[in-house]
Structure 1
């Protein structure tokens, strides 16, 4: 995979892209990460990339020309059109399922905004996706692009070493992840559940699924509304409700 990030502040990505999993992913050849300062593409003699909005209003807007030209510079001749992703608080909420979808692409381009917003022609004629981390506004799109890059790259084959490393992550199955424990079995009187040290893998798998369901019911019941529940899961949820009402 190739990921290009268009930003006015490429230095912000130095530490993030050169440490931990992202560093290892690049070293293994799983991904190529690049930052592009789209100010360098400005045709303005002062390298301006923003201007006042037509019709008046507060703040400045990023102009179309530098961003269109920067995107064209990183697109390779003959390639299928990459996913061009605008960091935007009006965009679709970024989720684990969206990260999984994007991880199947060959080329992603993230556009990091700044100032008051974008010339609408960038949104209308250039980008394929608009994504947001949540219902709040950041000073720029850089932090969001870092988060999304990390979430996508860790899903690429062999990046985490084992496929199972992310298959049970919260949200990957539609449920929150089950509780996990490590040595010692007894730490200050706090004991690991017996089932996990039983060696009975079928019981362990069943316990983990039940715990995932219970944790989701407790913390994110909204996720269960869009899940197609089995009869067994429905029975378990009825039991959870009964315990809650006791």
Structure 2
């Protein structure tokens, strides 16, 4: 797939090709990454990128003419265009999987006080990475790029299936050596070799972790009768 990022600060992405999973996706031919400097499409001798808001107000607004020149030069009829904006729907793992199946995605990084409202009608979707304000869309673009790259065959088969948010639950707790760390021991079930029992324990712990740390997720999750019994144990 191809991911194009439109940004006013391309230097933010200078070292991204050396990030292991993204580099692996690129080297395997699973990902083509292009960084476009919006400033290259600014008009006039002063390279106008932004301007003061009509009607007055604080801050600067990214101009639609500059954004559209950059967008039109970077897209075709197959491109799926996304504006990174605090008013967008909140990005999640389901959306990451959806985007990872597309062929051509364009991420437009907003900045300053925002973008001209008219630009929104020229993109397919608005996305946000959370209910807080950042100085621009570069960090959200990095988050989305990383989450998609992980799904492009860069890690071994099955490695993402039980991760947090993949099935509506947080991931079960993980342990490694040493088995006994000053009396703090790995749960014995994980050393039993009984894979059926281990799978059941892990699912039960995933339920407990979600209920404890993300009650909002747990409330949305539809418990089966068996899962209800698991939580009643002990």
Instruction: Quickly name the TM-score band, shorter chain normalised.
Output: over 0.9
Q: Give distance in 2, aligned partners of 1:191 and 1:224.
A: 28
Say yes or no: does 1:134 pair with 2:126: no
Deviations 1:7-31 (A, max 9, x none): 0110111123322211111111110
**Normalised TM-score (structure 2):** 0.95
Say yes or no: does 1:110 pair with 2:107: yes
Q: Give distance in 2, aligned partners of 1:8 and 1:204.
A: 50
Deviations 1:168-205 (A, max 9, x none): 11001110000111223222222211111111111111
Q: Give distance in 2, aligned partners of 1:201 and 1:233.
A: 18
Question: Aligned residue for 1:148?
Answer: 144
Preserved CA contact (<8 Å) 2:48 2:66 = no
How is 1:111-190 mapped onto 2 (pairs within 5 angstroms)? 111-123=108-120, 125-156=121-152, 158-160=153-155, 162-190=156-184
Q: Secondary structure at the match of 2:15?
A: helix
Q: Give distance in 1, aligned partners of 2:19 and 2:227.
A: 41
Question: Aligned residue for 1:52?
Answer: 52
Aligned-pair RMSD on alpha carbons? Answer: 1.5
Q: Give distance in 2, aligned partners of 1:211 and 1:230.
A: 15
Preserved CA contact (<8 Å) 2:7 2:35 = yes
Q: Give distance in 2, aligned partners of 1:223 and 1:209.
A: 15
Question: Aligned residue for 1:40?
Answer: 40
**Cα distance, 1:85 vs. partner?**
1.1
Number of matched pairs: 234
**Normalised TM-score (structure 1):** 0.90
Preserved CA contact (<8 Å) 2:6 2:70 = yes
**Cα distance, 1:166 vs. partner?**
1.1
Q: Give distance in 1, aligned partners of 2:11 and 2:17.
A: 10
**Cα distance, 1:121 vs. partner?**
1.0
Question: Aligned residue for 2:64?
Answer: 64
Q: Secondary structure at the match of 1:167?
A: coil
Deviations 1:47-96 (A, max 9, x none): 111112221111111011121121221224xx52x221111111111111
